Amino acid sequence: MTQSVATIAESYRARTPRSREMYEGGTSYTAGPAKGAYYYRPYPLAMERGEGRYLWDVDGNRYLDCANHHTAQVLGHNHPRVMEAVLAQMSRGLAVGAPMGPEADIAEEMCRRVDSVDRIRFVNSGTEATLHAIRLARGFSGKPKIAKFEGGYHGSHDPVEVSVAPPLAKAGPANAPNSVPGAGGSSPSVADEVVVLPYNDEEAVERLIVENRDDLACVIFDPKCGILNIRPEFARAVRRITRENGVLLIFDEIVAFRSSPGGLQAVFGIDPDLTCFGKIVGGGFPVGAFGGRADMMDLLDNSKPPSGFSQSGTFSSHPLAMTAGLAMLQELTPQACDHLNRLGDRLTGGLNEMFARKGIAAQCVNTGSVFSIYFSDRELRNYRDLAAVDGSLVSPTFLALLEEGYFLGHTLGMCCLSLPMTAEDVDGLIEATGRAVARAQAE
């Protein structure tokens, strides 16, 4: 493809004038984009519709969707079974303030799929799931602190926003990271409540947990699905260390649950005390969930004598989300997961072979069908490695891929494939990425 205008950004503007109009027309009322994740320079695309593996923007351009609404649309858009189930539920009522049945059906399905989950509760987002799981772990253990991994993301509440992306000048030693608050307006005491652990360093993790075990309620573990290559033996070591030291383990499957019918914990062979879910379990609707051991989860059962614990919410277990989520999970069979994972491995192998052949200092990492592209040929083991990666080629490569007809995450991180995609789609993305990087390098 030849470049018809002076720069990739100018080409983007020429192809997407209605997106620009919509963005500029709305920002006075929405404090920038409607949500933070939508924004990228020079302005975000506005989409007209999605169907199967494709998106169409408001200017009529079609894209192979390799973002899947932040990984949530694993079946692609408007899947017939999901749409049929949702329309049938809508005919019964959007929400009635009482159980309607789908919430019990999806709860049974989740407990059947995930060996470590005896009971489950549904909420409205991954943020709510991690908030309630941490609160339950603190109350159950009677201990005040939590531990999380440097660079791990678990939503938007004070303790989990510590050290998500700390400036390296403030981050402290790699094997004993500082606790660095990451959100304006956080509680002044939040840094004292969080122990920060390094990824892929078993020795440091064990030392930090042993040092803090008397105050440590839980470790919440984001496996960085498709972002870092987290070794299964490292995940198993975290489980062993937490168990030996009387610390609860919360496993964050919000992205990773598409890895297998039993989630990434089944792949790794670990059994966390609590697990958080989201994304695909809502079938495209807002959702979160947390579940685990019966002795912990039953503290939320208000049909029993008061325990001091509670969880509810106007839209928790919303029947549309429960209906759509169940339909999506029923389509995500072992065969479907295998197909997705094979595509992810094909993409990573093909991109890395192409980068090596063309002498491009770049790499792709994946966990099943979730993948990220980095402009570095160094081994990437932890947050510090990711923070040191050169980002100058990311935006022009992303914009050039849009012109090729591929919609990825604008950071080229936590992208993903969907079930309707084929090997030919993956091979086309590999070839397009080679052309896009060449254009970005020529800028």
* Residue-level pLDDT at 34: 86
In a domain, 1, yes or no: no
Write the pLDDT tens digit of every residue in 88-121: 999 999 999 999 999 999 999 999 999 999 999 9
Q: Which parts of 114-215 fold into alpha helices (H)?
A: 126-141, 202-212
Share of the chain above pLDDT 90, in %: 95
My answer on whether 120 and 164 are in the same domain is yes
Q: Which two structure tokens, joined as six digits, stand for 47? A: 């989409």
Instruction: Give, as one character, the DSSP assignment of residue 76.
Output: -
* Residue-level pLDDT at 410: 97
My answer on whether 399 and 315 are in the same domain is no
My answer on whether 29 and 109 are in the same domain is no
- Beta-bridge partner residues of 52: 77
Alpha-carbon distances of 371 from 166, 178, 322, 323, rounded to whole Å = 23, 28, 27, 28
Quickly state the pLDDT bin for 5 (edges 50, 70, 90).
Answer: very low
How far apart are alpha carbons 7 and 1 in whole angstroms?
A: 14
- The CATH number linked to 114 is 3.40.640.10
Domain termination residue (choose one: 331, 347, 365) = 331
How far apart are alpha carbons 293 and 298 in whole angstroms?
A: 8
My answer on whether 250 and 180 are in the same domain is yes
When computed from its CA atoms, the radius of gyration of the chain, rounded to whole angstroms, is: 22
In a domain, 251, yes or no: yes
Is residue 215 within 8 A of residue 236, CB to CB? The reply is: no
Is residue 135 within 8 A of residue 202, CB to CB? The reply is: no
Distance of CA 9 to the CA centre of its chain: 28
Write the pLDDT tens digit of every residue in 346-356: 999 999 999 99
Whose tokens are 């297998």? That residue is 260
pLDDT value at 314 more than 60: yes
Domain termination residue (choose one: 275, 304, 331) = 331
Write the pLDDT tens digit of every residue in 67-76: 999 999 999 9
My answer on whether 233 and 377 are in the same domain is no
Catalytic residue positions? 153, 252, 279
- The CATH number linked to 423 is 3.90.1150.10
Distance of CA 439 to the CA centre of its chain: 29
By three-state DSSP, how is residue 419 classified? coil
| Overall number of domains in the chain | 2
Domain termination residue (choose one: 267, 298, 331) = 331
Share of the chain above pLDDT 70, in %: 99
Alpha-carbon distances of 149 from 131, 200, 233, rounded to whole Å = 16, 10, 16
My answer on whether 61 and 97 are in the same domain is no
Domain that holds residue 213: 80-331
In a domain, 223, yes or no: yes
My answer on whether 108 and 44 are in the same domain is no
* Residue-level pLDDT at 33: 87
